[in-house]
Amino acid sequence: MSRALTYLRLYADEAGLSHFAPWSVALTPQAFAPPAPAFSVSAFAPAARYGFLHLPSGWSGDLHPSPQRMWIFVLAGDMEFEAGDGERQRIAPGFALLLEDTVGTGHRSRVLGEVAAVLAAVQL
């Protein structure tokens, strides 16, 4: 049985204004690591490099475009991202966000609460 995972995507429209939209990743059953039983796997996409980010509690970034197209995976702490159109999304540990707003005014981001945010970033 095929499945899909749905995440958020932050992208810029033709005018450079950023918006959120759902992003789905299809999964199909595969024998990924024989002789272990099959499980659902997505298609693999190219990635350029990865790194980890530590943002202290209270950190806030005013409007800025993403420096590069990338996936952000929240490992610890809570963050809020605000698109150029004003929509805000809270991103908690276990969530992922595809940042594609590399042009235009970009987005705002901030750490919520008293716990630092730890992110894994995979540049595409």
Residue range 54-93, pLDDT digits in tens: 999 999 999 999 999 999 999 999 999 999 999 999 999 9
What phi and psi, each to the nearest 5 degrees, are found at residue 111?
-85, 130
Cis check for the bond before 35: say yes or no (omega within 30 of 0). Answer: yes
pTM: 0.92
Buried b (16+ CB within 10 A) or exposed e, 56-93: eeeeeeeeebbeeebbbbbeebbbebbbbeeeeeebee
Structural domain count, the chain: 1
CATH number reported for the structural domain that contains residue 91 in this entry:
2.60.120.10
pLDDT confidence tier of residue 2, bands split at 50, 70 and 90? confident
Domain span including residue 61: 3-123
